[in-house]
Chain A
Amino acid sequence: EAGVTQFPSHSVIEKGQTVTLRCDPISGHDNLYWYRRVMGKEIKFLLHFVKESKQDESGMPNNRFLAERTGGTYSTLKVQPAELEDSGVYFCASSQEEGWPTEAFFGQGTRLTVV
């Protein structure tokens, strides 16, 4: 069974440009999460989808970040316009069950560098 896959694995863009990250969760997983790790810091929660609905987006840094999950399958995270401080590794995770405890399966991450 395929795990959580993320595209691209790396992206280097200039400040002010737009970047869209994609996440394909494990098939059948209703819960999809986005996290971000800025260098030297801990991995931080961005938002949580249940199917196509945003359950919790309290971790989204600002309105330059837009996440979507049309049809409740894959998800995209768009950063527009990108700023230097957006650089980091963006992780996607999915889980089958809602509530605790539930094991979240992570993708390999997208390393975003804004120059």
Chain B
Amino acid sequence: ILNVEQSPQSLHVQEGDSTNFTCSFPSSNFYALHWYRWETAKSPEALFVMTLNGDEKKKGQISATLNTKEGYSYLYIKGSQPEDSATYLCAFGNSGYALNFGKGTSLLVTP
């Protein structure tokens, strides 16, 4: 069993606030780290796939960093908007093809 831990479990911020979440994963046998954005009753939407230590990826106001040596990734949202409200999932890929997910961080952005 590969433990992927995400924190915080939930977060409530005001519109315009910037926020960040943490994903920690086993640092051994690393292949890839995925971030997904998921709204209930919709498909989880892929945000980033990162493979190299030090990777930084950005999509709009969302960015992510990766540290494979210490086994963590940060997801940042700059200037949160109500439409950013969702559950943010990270998933770790090792030598198999299965993704190992964390429980997610549930973000609520209120106007």
Contacts and interface: CB of A to CB of B under 8 A. Distances in A.
B43 A108 contact: yes
Interface of B: 4, 31-32, 34, 36, 41-46, 49-51, 89, 91, 93, 96-104
Contact of B41 (A35, A58, A108): A108
Given A42-B101, A55-B97, A103 B49 contact: yes
Contact of A48 (B46, B91, B98): B98
A43 B45 CA distance: 14
A59 B98 CA distance: 9
Given A43-B89, A43-B101, A45-B98, A100 B32 contact: yes
15 contacts: A9-B41, A33-B99, A43-B99, A43-B101, A44-B101, A48-B97, A55-B97, A56-B97, A56-B98, A100-B31, A101-B93, A102-B49, A105-B43, A106-B36, A106-B45
For the complex of A and B, 9 pairs with smallest distance between CB atoms: A45-B98, A101-B32, A100-B31, A43-B101, A106-B44, A42-B101, A42-B103, A108-B43, A106-B43
A108 B101 CA distance: 17
Contacts of B41: 9, 108-109, 111
A101 B98 contact: no
A58 B41 CA distance: 27
A3 B97 CA distance: 20
A55 B97 CA distance: 9
Size class of the contact patch on chain A: 20 to 34
Contacts of B98: 33, 45, 48, 56, 58-59
B55 to A, nearest CB: 10
B97 A31 contact: yes
Nearest to A92: B43
Interface string A55-89: 11011000000000000000000000000000000
